[in-house]
Copies of this chain bind each other. A is one copy, B any other.
Amino acid sequence: MTNKIPDNFKDLLNKKAFADLATVMPDGTPQVTPVWFDSDGDQLRINSAKGRQKDRNMRARPAVALAIIDPDNPYRYMQLRGTVSEITEEAADSHIDELAQTYLGTDYHKHEDDETRVIYNIQITPVSTLG
């Protein structure tokens, strides 16, 4: 267990791997959604839209968990837990375009007029890895 992404798993940060993000509902039950993410090696950043269930969950209950599976080997993965340390709308539109460029090779085409994009910075707590 470590509080950082181990060096020998940092390749997962550049592989278009999805993160399965778990948040907690108001009634204490879990919710899990696949999300895009990026990272500076320490914190992770994800991007959602204001008002969605995971947005509401992370604002009210900032503890999250993520599983990031190697797209080339499903038996190699990281299980992360973390805390949403910052929530910001600043640069969130350009951030979702950056993520779309990484994952899809295009800008994000699903922008909706009434959608407010949001960046969530996730501070990692323990990390365990397998494989």
Binding site for B on A (CB under 8 A): 18, 20-24, 27-34, 61, 63-67, 69, 71, 74, 77, 79, 81
Give chain B residues whose Cβ lies under 8 Å from the Cβ of A22. Answer: 20, 22, 30-32, 65
**Can you list 19 contacts pairing A with B, beta carbon distance less than 8 Å?**
A20-B20, A20-B67, A20-B69, A23-B30, A24-B24, A24-B28, A27-B63, A28-B28, A29-B64, A29-B81, A30-B30, A30-B64, A30-B65, A30-B81, A31-B65, A32-B67, A33-B67, A34-B67, A34-B69
CB neighbours of A18 from chain B (8 A): 69, 74
In order of increasing CB-CB distance, the 4 nearest A-B pairs are A29-B63, A20-B20, A22-B22, A22-B30
